[in-house]
Structure 1
C-alpha cells in the first residue's frame, strides 16, 4: 500500500528539481529553449519596468521568471514522463503511487508470466482495478479479481480500466485525470476500513493450484494410519 508522504527539506526539494530538469532535458529537445524563453521574456519586461518606474520591479521580475520556468518544467516533464511510461509494464502503478491525494496502491495483485498485471487502488471513489498487458489475458485477470473482491467490499463502488491505446482502453496519459474526476463516494473513514479488509484478504494463505509436488506429499499409508488411531 502507498505510504504517507514524508516531509522534504529545502535542499532535498532542490535536488529533486535538478533531477527532473536533467531528466526532461535529455528526453525533450524543446525543453531547454522553452526554459530559456521563460527566463528571458519576463526579465526583458522587468528591465523596461525598472527603467520606467524604478528598481522595485526587479524582485517582481525575478519571481515571474522563476514561476515561468517552473511552469515549463512541470508541463514538459509530465509529457516526457508519459512518453517513457507508455508501454512499460507496471508504469500505471508507479504513476499512481506519486499522484496527489489519498490513494492506496497495491501493484500487481494478479499477474502472468507474460507481464500482464492488475493493480489494486483504494481511494475516495471506491475500489479501482487497473490492468496492463495483453487485452485478452488481462480481461480474465480482471474477472478473477472482481469475483475475489466482491466478497469483502460491500457497497463500495468498483471501477476497472484496461490501460492502452486501443478502442475502449484508457490511455496512460489520461489515467490521472480520469481517476481524479471520479465521484468521491467514500469518506476517509470508509477508505481506512476498506483498506484493512482488503489487506486482511490478501494476507490469507492460498493453496497453490495444480498437483502437489512429490517432496510435499505425505508418506504412503499415512492417511490410513491416522484414521486407525
Structure 2
C-alpha cells in the first residue's frame, strides 16, 4: 500500500516538474532567443567528442553512455545559468527585486524586507548572517546614501560595534552592485560572527521591530470620508 502511495506521489510530482521546466524555458527564451540552440549545441558537442574518442580507443558503447550522461549534465548547467541570467534581467529595475534576491541568498541568513523607506519609495532591506548585518538598498543612489547612513547608525546603537554592518546599493553605476551579483558579494564577505552571536543579533533586531511594523498612523480624518471619521459631539 505504501509503495502504491509513493508511486502515485512520484507520478503527480513529475508532471509538476516538467511543467516548471517548460515554464522556465519559455521565460528564458523570451529574454534569450538562442537558448535552445546553445543548450542543444553544448549537448551535441560533448556527446560527439566522447563518442568519437570511444571509437578511437575501441570502446564506443561505454564512452557513448558516458558522453550521453555528461552531455545531459552540461546542458542542464548551461540552461540553468542562462535561465538565471534571464530571470535577473526580468527582475532588474523592478521594485522589490533586491528583496527577491535576498530570499534566495541561502541558508544561514535571516532576511527582512523594507526595514527603511522614504517617501520616494527608495527602500533598504536587511540580511543577518555570520558576516554581520548587510543592508541592501534599491532606488536613487543619492537619496539612498542618506537613508543607509541613518540605518547604519541605528544598527550600531542596537547591536554594538562587535557586529559589522555592510551596505550594498543595487545598480549598474559606480560604487553599485548589479542585481545578479548581490548574492555573490554577500557570500564573499568575511564571517567573523559565530552562530550564537547571529542568534543574539537577530533577537535584538526582532525586539527593536522594523519600520513597517512600527510606522505611526497618519493623524486627522481619512481622506474621502468627509466628517464620517469624526466622533459625534456630545449633547
Moved more, 106-115 or 122-131: 106-115
Q: Is the 8 A contact 2:115 2:210 kept in 1?
A: no
TM-score normalized by structure 1?
A: 0.79
Structure 1: gaps of 5 or more residues: 1-8, 220-229
Following superposition, the deviation at residue 62 of structure 1 comes to: 1.3
Q: Of 32, 35, 42, which aligns to 2:46? A: 42
Q: Of 195, 198, 204, which aligns to 1:188? A: 195
In the other structure, the counterpart of 1:31 is: 35
In the comparison of the two structures, how many residue pairs are matched? 210
| Corresponding position: 1:173 with 2:177 | no
Q: 1:125 to 1:14 in 2, by over 3 A?
A: farther
TM-score normalized by structure 2?
A: 0.77
Following superposition, the deviation at residue 130 of structure 1 comes to: 1.0
CA offset digits 1:22-52 (Å, max 9, x no partner):
3212210221111110121122234434543
Following superposition, the deviation at residue 136 of structure 1 comes to: 2.6
Cα distance in 1 for residues equivalent to 2:133 and 2:175? 20
| Corresponding position: 1:159 with 2:163 | no
Structure 2: gaps of 5 or more residues: 1-9, 222-228
Following superposition, the deviation at residue 55 of structure 1 comes to: 1.7
Q: Of 21, 25, 29, which aligns to 2:25? A: 21
Calculate the aligned-residue CA RMSD, in Å: 2.8
Following superposition, the deviation at residue 18 of structure 1 comes to: 3.8
